[in-house]
Amino acid sequence: MTRDEILKLEAGRELDALVAEKVMGLVPCNNWLPFNAFSYIKSQTCRHENCYPRGHPCLYSADWGAAGQVAEKMAHEPHAWIIESINIIGGSPQWSATYWGGGVEDDNDMVIGSTAPLAICRAALLAMEAK
């Protein structure tokens, strides 16, 4: 994906699936059973080690805890970029996530989102695309 395409992504399943696959290293899988209206149980017949229920990724772009998992994953990614800071911009409801990589000062970018989880997800996708 291009930088512009990533920056146009809004919070939702499309972005969450991209983050699950490209950042978290998960694969979509059909071997999940509904547990209740909000969660799934992995079937014992599933052969995937790291997968998520197809069409129902974790809410990385909307949930602060899930976005924290993304930031944590990026912090431990070898030779990848890490999220350096998250700031609220002025008094507006805009958040920024700045990431840098490789120790090169010019390799940084500030990504904007209407929420911190959205900014984190966009920054993580851009960092993985630049890797």
Structure confidence by residue, pLDDT tens digits, 19-76: 999 999 999 999 988 888 778 888 888 888 899 999 999 999 999 999 999 989 988 8
Question: pLDDT confidence of 103, banded at 50, 70, 90?
Answer: low
Q: What φ, ψ does residue 104 adopt, rounded to 5°?
A: -95, 120
Q: Can you give the pLDDT at residue 16?
A: 98
Share the mean pLDDT of the chain. 84
Per-residue pLDDT averaged across 10-23, rounded?
Answer: 96
CA distance 96 to 67: 13
The pLDDT of residue 80 is above 60: no
CA distance 122 to 111: 7
Residue with tokens 């966009």: 122
Question: pLDDT confidence of 78, banded at 50, 70, 90?
Answer: low
- Its domain, for residue 62, covers 3-130
**C-alpha closest to that of 126 among 1, 8, 25, 17:** 1
Predicted TM-score of the model (pTM) = 0.83
Percent of the chain with pLDDT over 90: 40
- Determine contact, residues 45/31, Cβ cutoff 8 Å: yes
Cα–Cα separations (whole angstroms), residue 91 to 54, 94, 95: 38, 8, 10
**Domains of the chain: total:** 1
Which CATH number is 53's domain given? Answer: 3.30.2120.10
